[in-house]
Amino acid sequence: MGNKHGFGTYQWKDGSKYVGSWDDNKITGIGIYEWLDGRSYQGEWSKNNHQGIGIYKWKDGREYKGDYYLDLKHGYGTFTWEDGRSYTGYWAKGRQHGLGVYRKPAENRIDYGLWEEGKGVKYFDSDMQNQINSGQLKYAQYFQKQDSELFLPKECTFKEPANHRRSFV
């Protein structure tokens, strides 16, 4: 049997299945991977890694829509929990990192904040949000680690980046 190349379907012995593009026996391009436990990933791939825009869903209702780099959430995206809470903002190395908006519908609450390696480090009132969005306030001063800013685009705000791709189709 030769290498998988082009568009096709492959099912592993454990029941997992991939439908999409292959290049030299590696998942590359656009495709859908479904695990037997109910998880799925639909999006862009590079050499068997989630890479680019994708949607990852869990059986319990959790979902991430956004950017991936080397199989990790990295860039801009939205994670929604099964109870309706969500985080929309920047990610680095699989964790919330940078400016983001945390919504908690059950409490009718929205928090605008700065995350660092998955932890909220600073929340901003509406005046500070407006200053950040207009470039008058530099949010990076609130990071606890000096190199944390390096993982983010130069001009982050609470608004969705103008160049962000929402879809891969």
pTM of the model: 0.93
Does 66 map to a domain?
Answer: no
Q: What domain count does the chain have? A: 2
Domain endpoint, select from 34, 59, 84: 59
Q: Are residues 143 and 80 in the same domain?
A: yes
Does 163 map to a domain?
Answer: no
Which tokens is 10 given?
A: 């492959």
Q: What Å distances lie between residue 65 and 85, 127, 161, CA to CA?
A: 14, 29, 15
Percent helix, strand and coil across the chain, each rounded to 5?
A: 10, 50, 40
Full residue range of the structural domain in which residue 2 is found: 1-59
Does 107 map to a domain?
Answer: yes
Which tokens is 137 given?
A: 């306030």
pLDDT at 169 over 50: no
Does 164 map to a domain?
Answer: no
Q: Are residues 45 and 86 in the same domain?
A: no
**pLDDT single digits (tens) 111-160:** 999 999 999 999 999 999 999 999 999 999 999 998 999 999 888 999 98
